[in-house]
Structure 1
């Protein structure tokens, strides 16, 4: 029977992703300058420009791949437009935004599992937004109208959308090999993001 084919002792995809990326996640968080006393408005703007330089090609690669399993709603979760909104609020023109450098060393997104791993990183990054939003409001007087919308991209929906994403992940029938590909892509997303931000000289 089909019910006998599933190993109930196997870790869930979420557990596998958390375990496989935990150290990389912590390493990146420790280098982000949001809580640094040296962070000023100029550094913050350069930071958002660097975020755009990663998110824009990353989201384009994901959504153009045609490999994201059914059930994910890009129109509700795409973050690049919010970054563009913030960059406009910070004084950049469309021409200046278009001219910003963009990351070319992206994770290999050639399977549905790899797409899931990358999405896990991008969706998980929204969870700290409430804390960052408050910190930037206090430190730099940044809010959703003047350059801080990305920090709280889902607003009051953050918790629910994360839960919905976890439910979506739990419905994906990935075998052990596919789960390993998801972890590899998630790790590549974390490390690629850190390397990109480092190359743009916006990390601690």
Structure 2
């Protein structure tokens, strides 16, 4: 993989510039329960339902633009809405987020993918915390199991390769907006 000039900093910028939004998202009620060691089945189900409402329309947009990505992106392995269907028997009746970030360009999709692919790492942590609390495993949080780390590394490598000086600002802005919109959706009653 050859990283284009100036694009390696996209990863540094994403980590630094999205940190406040990532932290705000993690301050939600469910994550606070996890940190306190007091998660409940009901809270896990509510959190998964909110994720469903965001992930499903995001993946629909990604599928609509799949031709802009080559086979090396392994998009079909990255889709996780089906895992939410496994976790939530009434998933099809759940509301969908009406206010996704714009996902019309490859750069916008890459920024949003950074957030949602990164959540696979957090899902591994959540899965372990639920197990400690005696709460049944959830397919969505377990996600790619032992393949989570390698898939994340593959993603960030491809992202660094795909980013250019002309697209880096748009990728970072999309990631920030994705964190903001996901946070707003999760916090919405």
The two structures have a TM-score, normalised by structure 2, of 0.87
Number of the residue aligned with 1:69: 69
Number of the residue aligned with 1:99: 93
With CA pairs under 8 Å and 6+ residues apart, which has the higher RCO, 1 or 2?
A: 2
Conservation of the 8 A alpha-carbon contact between 1:16 and 1:183: yes
Conservation of the 8 A alpha-carbon contact between 1:133 and 1:151: yes
How many residue pairs match? The answer is 182
Conservation of the 8 A alpha-carbon contact between 1:53 and 1:103: yes
Report the Cα offset of residue 138 of structure 1: 2.0
> Which structure: greater helix fraction?
2
CA RMSD of aligned residues (A): 2.0
Conservation of the 8 A alpha-carbon contact between 2:66 and 2:75: no
Secondary structure in 2 matching 1:163: helix
Quick one: distance in 2 between partners of 1:67 and 1:17?
25
* Aligned CA distance change for structure 1 residues 109 and 72 (closer, same or farther; 3 Å): same
Larger Cα-atom Rg:
1
Residue deviations 1:32-83, cap 9 Å, x none? Answer: 5145155322222121111111100111112213464323111110010011
Secondary structure in 2 matching 1:128: helix
Residue deviations 1:127-162, cap 9 Å, x none? Answer: 12222111111224212xxxx111120101111111
Gap regions ≥5 residues in structure 2: none
Does residue 150 (structure 1) correspond to residue 151 (structure 2)? The answer is: no
The two structures have a TM-score, normalised by structure 1, of 0.81
Report the Cα offset of residue 30 of structure 1: 2.0
